[in-house]
Amino acid sequence: MLTDPVSKKPFIEARILTRKGFRLHIFRKKDNSIWARFRLPRSVREQLTKNKLPTFWVDNFDPVELEQLKKLEIGFNPTLYKQSGKQIEFIVWGSATPGFIPPVMRQMMLGENIYIKYWTLMGKQGLAEIPLNRANEAIAQFLRVQPLNKRTDTVQGDSGSSFVTLAKRFTEICEDLRFTAADNDYTECRDLYIECSEAPGMTTEKLRVCLDYFPERGVPNSNIKKTK
């Protein structure tokens, strides 16, 4: 159990150390954002490179490329990740709303392994396989939810199989708005997505309505201002 350096209150994190010495910490910050910290074994002399950030995935699910975080940064100093030597710390989810389990966290709670592909300063590529045996209980505690039942619960939960796909497609639209004439289009799009996706009890259909996004109908989102 660790404590906050200011308030001295205890906070919980999922801490995993593999037999090969890879370390992974998943934790919740004071602003309710969820972060992870990955560190190479002490026996490895090489360091991680900043030129190509790691990619991670749980079991057979789609990979998450941390390199994409660079596109979301504003300014010269990174705020969504921090890489130093053998260690990288990165954001996993923007805000841990009480009672809501983000899709990627649900994968970790029900998954068997998380795989992290990384690159070193010398240009070498490595792969860490990290078991998630006790992640379910630890993650549940800092999310303030009940642990999931691996026999009855699903990765999609009550969100439906298309929740992640829908969210991914909408965020891609937001990315396209970064290059429009109006500076606030991208910000409004991202704010809308965060507000909708992090609402407690959000399902696929509720997300469609909240975002006013129905790609199968070919109807544009009326909640986002369009430039002329």
Determine the length of the chain: 228
Q: What percent of the chain has pLDDT over 70?
A: 81
User: Is residue 156 very low, low, confident or very high in pLDDT (cuts 50, 70, 90)?
Assistant: low
- Other CB atoms closer than 10 Å to residue 148's CB: what's the count? 20
Mark whether 30 and 54 lie in a shared domain.
Answer: yes
Q: What is the pLDDT of residue 227?
A: 38
Six token digits for residue 203: 């399902």
CA distance 70 to 68: 5
- Residue ending a domain, among 129, 155, 181, is 155
What count of Cα atoms within 13 Å lies in the side-chain half-sphere of residue 10? 3
Q: What is the pLDDT of residue 107?
A: 92
Answer whether residue 225 is part of any domain.
no
- Domain span at residue 183 reads 158-217
Q: Would you say residue 149 has pLDDT above 90?
A: no
CATH of the domain at 53: 2.60.40.1880
User: Is residue 6 very low, low, confident or very high in pLDDT (cuts 50, 70, 90)?
Assistant: very low
Answer whether residue 193 is part of any domain.
yes
Mark whether 83 and 130 lie in a shared domain.
Answer: yes
Comparing 97 with 87, the larger pLDDT belongs to: 87
Give residue-wise pLDDT tens across range 49-71: 999 999 999 999 989 999 999 98
